[in-house]
Amino acid sequence: MRITFLGTSHGITEKNAFCSSALATVGTAQYLVDVGAPVDTLLANLDIPLRDLRGVFITHPHQDHYVGLAQLTYTVEDFGRFEDVRVPVLAPEGIDFNALNVFLWGDPRGHDRYRTEDPPERRIRFRVYPDAPPDGSVIFDDGTLRVTAFPVRHIPHSHAFLLEAEGKRVVFTGDLLRDLSDYPTVITSPDAPPLDLVVTEAAHVRLDDPETPKILAKSKTPTLVVSHRAPGRNPLSAVENLARQIAPIRVIAAYDGMVLEV
Ligand SMILES: [Zn+2]
């Protein structure tokens, strides 16, 4: 599995950093975790055709994690060259996709288009997954990638995702509470199998809080990527300090375009 970080910023875009989005690649199959970035352009930059997109997963209903869906939806639905695209978008409760379609196409066309479940011409297929129970629930499995959602407490309907493919296990924490009291136990539990990669947020937590490294050090992973980073709260020096504190876990500050082979 290859992870490409398309957007690594926090709530707003920063210089050369879009809001949250990551691409998981398994063979030729492509999957997106959060869509805060203009992903149709970024995938084109990577020469990845949109027809290779097999699924989109949104961690929680905050705009910087889904605003790029507006452009993706418009691009895919409106242009003939994307007729062969069929993408399920797995989203939590709290996002009004009908309003998105009214915004894009006006009323009543938007309502007409999306009132019935999956009209045949629909290419972007919105699905709401229910809030996950504490031990997680599988929200997607196409035989290539399995995604399990775990609840976190950032805002209502917030989730971390476990991605499993090719025998590899990767967790995206999504957004968390400032004190990391909801840092997912699938990462730290002695009973859980070890992970190959954890991608955690740094928009809300303070990496220089003395409690933070104690929690992150429990992560059962060789590599911890710090993404969704607010540079004012967590400058690069704070990431470097964290790396010294939780060695031998390798800590990497994500940047837009960064690629990791897992
Ligand atoms: Zn958030």
pLDDT of 111 strictly over 90 = no
Q: How far is the CA of 207 from the centre of ligand 1 (A)?
A: 17
Q: How far is the CA of 154 from the centre of ligand 1 (A)?
A: 7
Q: How far is the CA of 84 from the centre of ligand 1 (A)?
A: 32
pLDDT at 110: 52
Q: How far is the CA of 61 from the centre of ligand 1 (A)?
A: 7
Q: How far is the CA of 109 from the centre of ligand 1 (A)?
A: 31
pLDDT at 100: 85
**Tens digit of pLDDT for each residue in 124-157?**
999 999 999 999 999 999 999 999 999 999 999 9
Q: How far is the CA of 12 from the centre of ligand 1 (A)?
A: 11
Domains of the chain: 2-261 (3.60.15.10)
Report the C-alpha gap between 56 and 69 in whole angstroms.
10
**Tens digit of pLDDT for each residue in 20-29?**
999 999 999 9
Q: Which band of pLDDT confidence, cut at 50, 70 and 90, is reported for residue 106?
A: confident
**Per-residue CA distances from 32 to 45, 105, 213 (Å):** 15, 24, 28
Q: How far is the CA of 120 from the centre of ligand 1 (A)?
A: 33
pLDDT of 96 strictly over 90 = no
Q: Is residue 27 left, alpha or beta, with left meaning phi > 0 and alpha meaning psi from -120 to 50?
A: left
**Tens digit of pLDDT for each residue in 174-200?**
999 999 999 999 999 999 999 999 999
Q: How far is the CA of 249 from the centre of ligand 1 (A)?
A: 26
Query: What residues have CB less than 8 Å from 198, skipping those under 6 apart?
Result: 170, 171, 173, 187, 219, 221, 223, 224, 225
